Amino acid sequence: MNNTTASTRTPAPAHTPAAGTGNKPVHTIRLGAIKAAIWENTVGENTRHSVSLCRLYKDGDQWKTTESYGRDDLLVLAKVADQAHTWICEQRAAG
């Protein structure tokens, strides 16, 4: 993967576990075709984060996502997961 720049913007629609609910991730991390969407759920005084990982690909003119990864995606997937973990830990430390 040549594109290894982190970005909070993606050309593809958000990958949401609750599609259609209008929920948006509080943060996204993207390296190449691998993206992490970080979700926040607050219940009472407790805030929890969860992470959805996906690989973006283009099918004709349409962007799609998959949760299947090839050999060359795995190290990038690990980096994105690590960056998501770091971001969540930083939020905890700040709050």
One pLDDT digit (tens) per residue for the chain, 95 residues = 444 444 443 334 344 444 445 689 999 999 999 999 999 999 999 999 999 999 999 999 999 999 999 999 999 999 999 999 999 999 999 87
Q: Which residue segment(s) compose the domain that 58 sits in?
A: 27-94
Whether 16 maps to a domain, the answer reads no
Kindly state whether residue 46 falls inside one of the protein's structural domains: yes
**Rounded to an integer, what distance in angstroms lies between the CA atom of residue 17 and that of residue 19?**
6
Whole-prediction pTM value? 0.75
Specify if 12 maps to a domain: no
Residue 13, in any domain of the structure: no
Collect all residues with Cβ–Cβ distance below 8 Å to 10 and sequence separation of at least 6.
28, 30, 35, 56
Distance (Å, whole) CA 95 – CA 93? 6
Count the domains in the chain.
1
Residue 49 lies inside a defined structural domain of this protein: yes
Amino acid identity for residue 21 in this structure = T
**Whole-number pLDDT of residue 21:** 57
